[in-house]
Structures are given as structure tokens and as C-alpha cells.
Structure 1
Amino acid sequence: MGQKPRYCEVNGVKMLKGQLVSPHAPGDDGFTYWGYTVRIAPGFEDAFSQCPSTGGYDLKIGTSEHGDVVPVAQLQLPAFKHLIVGFGGPQGLERCCETDVRCQGKRPEDFFDMYLNTCPKQGSRTIRTEEAMWISLAYISHSLASQDPHTA
């Protein structure tokens, strides 16, 4: 931080010069937020059991048009170290759960600590996953910011 941008010329075009770093390097100072990570799990239950962090996820939030509607100002997240936010495809987390044979007899909300509708009154039949991600992250960011000034 605080370094002046460096440039180089490639084929007559002026470009920013960068350096590859470990994905963990920006967070090593305790203040820089690198961003979120995305991974695809082979099955619904695998999203939870294959947590890359020791101890697993201590807060699991599912997003669905069938989830609980909580006004953003009233949303309170419990303290956590590792959060997972689940998004379904066009047919939602419900369909993801239905198609995983290991989920027989369970509903998607059984896997989450919170099952939220992050876009009530959406005005369309479905929201694309790439749109739902930004909407949902913005929705929970207020609660995150109230917990830690270095987030959101």
C-alpha cells in the first residue's frame, strides 16, 4: 500500500506492472481484504463437508426466494470465523438439495443457520446467480460492518 504504480511498455502500449502474490498475502497485514472466494462443490452436502478451513464453517447462510425476509437494518449475524453463503441455480437451492441423493428427506434450510430471501419483491421470476451474489453480499455487508470495521 502507498506505493506509486509502476508502468512498463509492451509492444508500444503502456501497461501497469504487477507482481504475482499468494492469495493469502493481502490479508497478512490484518487489514487488507482480498475479497471472497468461490468454489463449486460436486454435491450439495459437499459444499459443507469440504470446507477448506480447519473447523469447518461456523456460519452458513442460504439464499432463496423462499427464505425468511429480514429487513437489512434488522439483520444480525452471530460472531463467526468462517462463513459460507449458498446460492442455487435458476431453480434454487431447493433443486440442488432434491437432486443430491444424500439429502433425501431433508430441505435446504436444514443445512443452513440462516435461510434468507435477500431480494424480496424481486419483480422477476428468477434472479441470475451472478446477480444474486452481488445482491446478497450487499445485503449482509451492513451486518458485517457493524461487527468489524475492517469488513465490508
Structure 2
Amino acid sequence: GNPSTETQKIMKSLLPSTVQEGLTAGSQFWNASKTLKTLIEEGYFQNKENSNSGVVLPPLIQSMTAESDSLGLTPGENSELALSALGCCVFYLKKCIIDKEILSMAKFEEYVPVDSDIGKGTKSSIFTKTNQRMVLDGVTLANL
């Protein structure tokens, strides 16, 4: 849950005026399994037209679950960190009491860094195809 000492030094030097606070692993920074369990149990994605159909995860989150788990409670092989990071966001949204409003929109997009696309020869991320988003990397933040 907490960044290394070296990472903290970098963040403090690049972002000295921001409030930086570590999170407690487990209770504030959830693991992937707890994230999936919470998303399903809280009913964020409940089908409003047919309430008997139960909870269906959004396609992107569903793709991050293990194929062998029909309930969607087991994270996929390469999705542990992404789902854990999502869990941290869900925790914060719950703390701010806006989790239902935000998560029920079910608008999720996968971020694939531009440089990893080049190395793997995979299709480009939606972030590189649109002018509606800005990626703030370390160099950009330092120049602000």
C-alpha cells in the first residue's frame, strides 16, 4: 500500500505542496479479490431493468477476472495489480460517499502506456486515439 522510501522522496521533490498520505494495506488498499467481492456485493452494476438478473460486471472488469470463475470473484492472472488499484479508488469513493453515483455509471477504460504498445506490437490504447485526455508523467508534472 505504501510507496518505497525512494519513491516517496521523488514524489515529495516533484509535488512538494500536495498532501501525501500512505494507505493501510487490507483496510484502505484492497487486494484484487476484496475489490471484486465488494463490487459485486455492493450492487454497483445491478441491472435496473431486470433486478432478478443479478449483478453483471462491466466488460472490462469482467475481462480481468479468471475465466474459470463464473462468479467473477477471482482475479485474472495479469490483473491483480490493476484490480488492487481499483480497490483503492473504490475505498476512496466510499469514503467520500460518492461511490454509488460514480461506479454505477460503469464507464471503465484500460490504460495501456504508449511505450508498452510499441514494445509489444499491440493495438493502441484508446488514450492515444483521442484528444480528450492528458497523461501526466513525471516530466510533465515537473514542468507544470
TM-score calculated relative to the size of structure 1: 0.23
Greater helix fraction, Structure 1 or Structure 2: 2
Greater strand fraction, Structure 1 or Structure 2: 1
TM-score calculated relative to the size of structure 2: 0.24
